[in-house]
């Protein structure tokens, strides 16, 4: 069964700290994987797209990695800010299967 | 550009009532879709459209109807609301729907959502 699973479900960190969110997928064949950020009460917004040939991609303080062999992707947030508080969702772009998301809360 | 707009923002219905959730986009996107988002579950596809006059069912279509008479608009109709349809509904659009390696172009642009409660 094609699935996208994320961990942890929720995460609380202090402002300025780093964190890593995980996404495991069993979608086959693999196409591409996209990370979205969803602020409370709003629709998801794309952060980055990872294609099969890419291992690492950065977008400011966000760095996404992809290991096609283990079918894992991660989103690393550096020097977290209060505005990073949101849910982060990964999705297979071909079949549009969305993970359940990780809810990140950053406290001062 | 307004992007993807949805109305209403909030709605409360009684069981058995019908209503239409509105969605519009001004980006000339071919592909539009409706999702529902429930606690502890990922976004689930209800219906989608690859162009005006063409619609198809997604993962959870029962109880919902759609039509696409123009490129810009994609309304979602609840025929007879049930408490199980209490959810947050998101409309999304993308330039087109591609598969495989080209699916990297499938960036979905989401509306702000409609929070629906069915009593």
pLDDT tens, residue by residue, B48-83: 999 999 999 999 999 999 999 999 999 999 999 999
Question: CA B12 from chain center: how many Å?
Answer: 18
How many Å apart are CA B82 and CA B90, to the nearest integer? 18
Residue located via tokens 């069912």 = B57
Q: What residues of chain B lie within 8 A of the CB of A45, using their CB?
A: 110
Q: What residues of chain B lie within 8 A of the CB of A42, using their CB?
A: 112-113
How many Å apart are CA A32 and CA B109, to the nearest integer? 17
Alpha helices (H) in B1-119, listed in sequence order: none
Collapsing DSSP to helix, strand or coil, B106 comes out as coil
pLDDT at B107 over 90: no
pLDDT at A28 over 90: no
Residue with more model confidence, A53 or A103:
A103
Question: Which residue in chain A has the smallest CA separation from B48?
Answer: A96
Among B41, B100, B108, whose Cβ lies nearest the Cβ of A100?
B41
Q: What residues of chain A lie within 8 A of the CB of B92, using their CB?
A: 43
Q: Are strands A102-107 and A10-14 parallel, antiparallel or unpaired?
A: parallel
Q: List, in sequence order, every residue forming a beta bridge with B76; answer none if it has no partner.
A: B21, B66
Residue B102 has what pLDDT? Answer: 62
Q: Please tell me if residue A108 touches chain B, with a CB cutoff of 8 Å.
A: no
Kindly determine whether residue A43 and residue B90, on different chains, have CB atoms separated by under 8 Å.
yes
Question: Which residue in chain A has the smallest CA separation from B5?
Answer: A43
Among A4, A43, A46, whose Cβ lies nearest the Cβ of B42?
A4
Mean pLDDT of B75-95: 96
Peptide bond into B8 cis (omega under 30): yes
Q: What is the CA radius of gyration of chain A?
A: 13
Among B4, B43, B99, whose Cβ lies nearest the Cβ of A98?
B43
| DSSP E strand stretches across chain B | 4-7, 10-13, 19-25, 31-37, 44-51, 54-57, 64-66, 76-78, 87-94, 109-110, 114-118
Residue-wise pLDDT tens digits, B3-31:
999 999 999 999 999 999 999 999 999 99
Residue with more model confidence, A27 or A82:
A82
User: pLDDT class for A93, splitting at 50, 70, 90?
Assistant: confident
Residue B99 has what pLDDT? Answer: 67
């Amino acid at each position: 069964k094609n699935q996208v699973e994320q961990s942890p479900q929720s995460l609380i960190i202090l402002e300025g700290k780093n964190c890593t969110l995980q996404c495991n997928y069993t979608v086959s064949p693999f196409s591409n994987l996209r990370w979205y950020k969803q602020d409370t009460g709003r629709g998801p917004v794309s952060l980055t797209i990872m294609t099969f040939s890419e291992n690492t991609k950065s977008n400011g303080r966000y760095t996404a990695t992809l290991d096609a062999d283990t079918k894992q992707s991660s989103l690393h947030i550096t020097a977290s800010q209060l505005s990073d508080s949101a849910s982060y969702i990964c999705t297979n772009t071909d079949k549009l299967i969305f993970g359940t998301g990780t809810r990140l809360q950053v406290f001062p | 550009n307004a992007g993807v707009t949805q109305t209403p923002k909030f709605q409360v219905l009684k069981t058995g009532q019908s209503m239409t959730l509105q969605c519009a986009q001004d980006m000339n996107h071919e592909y539009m879709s409706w999702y529902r988002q429930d606690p502890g579950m990922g976004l689930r596809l209800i219906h989608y459209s690859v162009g005006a006059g063409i619609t198809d069912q997604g993962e959870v279509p029962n109880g919902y109807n759609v039509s696409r008479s123009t490129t810009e608009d994609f309304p979602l109709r609840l025929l007879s609301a049930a408490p199980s349809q209490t959810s947050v509904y998101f409309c999304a659009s993308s330039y087109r729907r591609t598969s495989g390696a080209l699916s990297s172009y499938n960036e979905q642009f989401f509306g702000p959502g409609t929070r629906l409660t069915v009593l």
